[in-house]
DNA sequence: AAATTTGTCAACCGCCTTAAT
DNA sequence: AATTAAGGCGGTTGACAAATT
């Protein structure tokens, strides 16, 4: 009855991943693609739960991940999206290429939350903590325009709030006050179709903008910079048949995954 | 210099939805 | 239709690092 168990609970390792485990997982996924996490630990020679492998891959090992702190523009975007979506971190993360829900959630809890509180803004409702009773007061009170969309300007204390209500009639592009954040927000908000897809829980559009830039892919710039010395093996990707973690590699990887899926489909 | 506090974030836990049997 | 696991998600924890006393 039902499906087979995800993994043999006995002998499953927990805790921090070692460099060796990471290597095995990356090697396996780059070769075979992402599919059937239940089978991954066994096939990759890992004493881990499939769930743990998926988490490790999506949150830390994926080649398209950015590393490091969120930029101001990204932070602004997170605040704006949070005002609209609440704690739906995966939805928010879907709009920030190279960022994971876990990373955004952590950043929210450790940085943004405090920042907003410091500014006198409730991080849950995005309303002022001490709301003035008079409407005219709210007009003069920085960041106290509940009916208006959110916006953090470059100035520390000038935060225009977004209504936590899911009815946001004003064009979100009007929120943008910095060029950088404008660009980011434009990607999401300026397009009704995109916004609708967000609300309708449709799959996000693939963001491939970095593929067209003259700059090296972020993955090459940042992905493994902060890793400990044990991970220098990653620089020797050829060891497991990977020339680099750049664009081509990832495209191949995606193709590999698709092939695997197709093969799975053929079997059925 | 040592002890304590605070901050950060990777990883786990448990719940929910979806899908397989 | 009922049962069970996979996959996905958000909340929470705990180890470690950095800052402070």
Task: Flag whether pLDDT at A220 surpasses 60.
Answer: no
> A86 near A244, Cβ under 8 Å?
no
Q: Which residue has the tokens 């932070």?
A: A75
Nearest nucleotide by C1' position to the A3 CA atom: C5
Mean pLDDT of the region A187-199: 45
- A3 CB neighbours strand C below 7 A: yes
Q: What is A1-28 written as a DSSP string?
A: --PPPSS-STT---SSPPHHHHHHHHHH
pLDDT surpassing 60 at residue A2 = no
A122: pLDDT strictly greater than 50: yes
Q: Look at A81-85, A212-216, A262-266 and tell me which has the smallest mean pLDDT.
A: A212-216
Whole-number pLDDT of residue A232:
43
Q: Nucleotides of chain C within 7 Å of a protein C-beta?
A: 2-12
Structure pTM?
0.63
pLDDT at A197 (0 to 100): 47
| Spacing of A156 CA from B4 C1' in Å | 32
Instruction: Check residue A117 and give its pLDDT.
Output: 83
């Amino acid at each position: 009855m039902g499906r087979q168990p995800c993994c043999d609970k006995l002998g499953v390792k927990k805790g921090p991943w070692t460099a060796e485990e990471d290597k095995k997982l990356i090697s396996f996924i780059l070769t075979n693609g992402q599919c059937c996490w239940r089978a991954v630990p066994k096939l990759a020679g890992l004493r881990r739960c499939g769930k743990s492998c998926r988490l490790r891959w999506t949150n830390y090992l994926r080649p398209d991940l950015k590393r490091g702190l969120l930029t101001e523009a990204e932070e602004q975007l997170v605040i704006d999206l949070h005002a609209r979506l609440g704690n739906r971190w995966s939805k928010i993360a879907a709009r920030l290429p190279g960022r994971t829900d876990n990373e955004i959630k952590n950043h929210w809890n450790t940085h943004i939350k405090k920042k907003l509180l410091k500014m006198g803004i409730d991080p849950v409702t995005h309303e002022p903590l001490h709301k003035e009773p008079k409407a005219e007061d709210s007009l003069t009170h920085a960041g106290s325009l509940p009916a208006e969309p959110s916006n953090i300007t470059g100035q520390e204390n000038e935060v225009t709030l977004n209504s936590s209500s899911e009815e946001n009639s004003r064009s979100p592009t009007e929120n943008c006050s910095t060029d950088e954040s404008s660009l980011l927000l434009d990607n999401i908000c300026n397009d009704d179709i995109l916004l609708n897809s967000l609300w309708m829980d449709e799959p996000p559009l693939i963001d491939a903008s970095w593929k067209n830039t003259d700059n090296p892919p972020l993955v090459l710039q940042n992905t493994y910079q902060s890793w400990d010395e044990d991970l220098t093996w990653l620089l020797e990707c050829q060891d497991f048949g990977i020339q680099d973690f750049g664009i081509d590699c990832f495209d191949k990887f995606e193709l590999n995954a698709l092939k695997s899926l197709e093969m799975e489909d053929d079997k059925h």
